[in-house]
């Protein structure tokens, strides 16, 4: 949908709470077997290009359009993860996503598990998926 080629990097554990991007969507997942959260953090150049490609509007600042788009992308990605996990026998309810923006903003996962970073690289820059579960 975003018409951007994203190349996955090597996953790793995150030890700090500071975001790796400039704008992040965060959503909680709760279920009987475990609970967790998922965040997607975009650098400004990446989310600006995604906004232009998906919405046909050029943006040059993190405005309401961008934060709404990040929330919607977070919903779509988490919905896909929920379907995959459901096929594996894990059922979750999804919370409403929140969006945080600003340089060096903090992402607070609602669980105490380890946070795994899945980095993605694009021609415009990087974005990151954070996954944190406890069970």
Segment 71-77 shows an average pLDDT of 94
Length of the chain: 135
pTM higher than the cut 0.85: yes
66 token code pair: 């961008």
- Check pLDDT > 70 for residue 135: no
Provide the mean pLDDT of the chain. 92
- Check pLDDT > 80 for residue 102: yes
pLDDT of amino acid 89: 86
Cα–Cα–Cα angle for 101, 104, 106, nearest 5°? Answer: 75
Segment 112-135 shows an average pLDDT of 92
Domain ranges of the chain: 7-134
For 3-29, write each residue's pLDDT tens digit: 899 999 999 999 888 999 999 999 998
CATH topology of domain 7-134: Chemotaxis protein chec (3.40.1550)
């Amino acid at each position: 949908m975003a018409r951007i080629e994203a190349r996955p990097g090597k996953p790793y554990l995150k030890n700090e709470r500071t975001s790796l991007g400039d704008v992040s969507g965060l959503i909680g997942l709760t279920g009987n077997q475990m609970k967790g959260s998922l965040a997607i953090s975009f650098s400004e150049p990446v989310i600006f290009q995604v906004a232009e490609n998906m919405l046909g509007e050029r943006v040059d600042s993190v405005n309401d359009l961008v934060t709404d788009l990040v929330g919607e992308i977070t919903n779509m990605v988490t919905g896909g993860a929920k379907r995959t996990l459901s096929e594996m026998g894990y059922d979750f309810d999804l919370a409403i996503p929140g969006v945080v923006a600003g340089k060096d903003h903090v992402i607070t996962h609602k669980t105490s598990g380890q946070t795994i970073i899945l980095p993605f690289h694009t021609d415009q820059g990087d974005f990151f998926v954070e996954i944190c579960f406890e069970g």
